[in-house]
Amino acid sequence: MMLVVTIIAVITSLTVPALTAGLAGVRLASASSETASFLTSSVNAVERREQAAAIVLSPKENRLDVFTAASADKPLRTYRPPSGIMFEGEEPHRYMLYPGGAFPRITLVLRNESGARRSVQIDPVTAVPQVRRIGDGPQS
């Protein structure tokens, strides 16, 4: 009986870290997709409503906000990544979006607790998001 319990303990100790790393990778991939969708819908809303907007990345608060003239100091929309996922950077960044104008090249980097990183970039010409792995940490 002790042998069976020992074997189960060894198998569990080997699989739990791999499972945890796998879940962190899934959360990072999901957050990257959600961030890309948030940015794309913000760009589309500017064109559809013909109303300028500002996308503000606040890394220290770990959030993305969209402000318009109508929303004033209160964000129109906010995105916060799930637990364990952070936006990289020190200072806030502001990206201005104007209807009918060229959009800025927006690039955001997300990182999970195990150090894996992904960049989310919105092409200024096509407004198509591109999500890429960044090779600093474990691949996810």
Tens-digit pLDDT profile for residues 24-79: 888 999 999 999 999 999 988 998 989 999 999 999 999 999 999 888 889 999 99
Under CATH, to which class is 2-134 assigned?
alpha beta
For 39, other C-beta atoms within 10 Å of its C-beta total: 24
**Long-range Cβ contacts of 46-53 (<8 Å, 24+ apart):** 46/97, 46/98, 46/99, 47/99, 47/100, 49/99, 50/99, 50/100, 51/99, 52/96, 52/97, 52/98, 52/99, 53/96, 53/97
The pLDDT of residue 103 = 81
**Cβ pair 65, 77 in contact under 8 A:** yes
**CA distance linking residue 64 with residue 45, whole number of Å:** 16
For 67, other C-beta atoms within 10 Å of its C-beta total: 18
Strand partners, 77: 66
Half-sphere exposure of 107 (CA within 13 A, CB side): 7
DSSP state of 133: E
For 5, other C-beta atoms within 10 Å of its C-beta total: 9
Tens-digit pLDDT profile for residues 69-126: 888 889 999 999 998 999 999 999 999 999 988 888 899 999 998 889 999 998 888 8
For 127, left (φ over 0), alpha (ψ -120 to 50), or beta? left
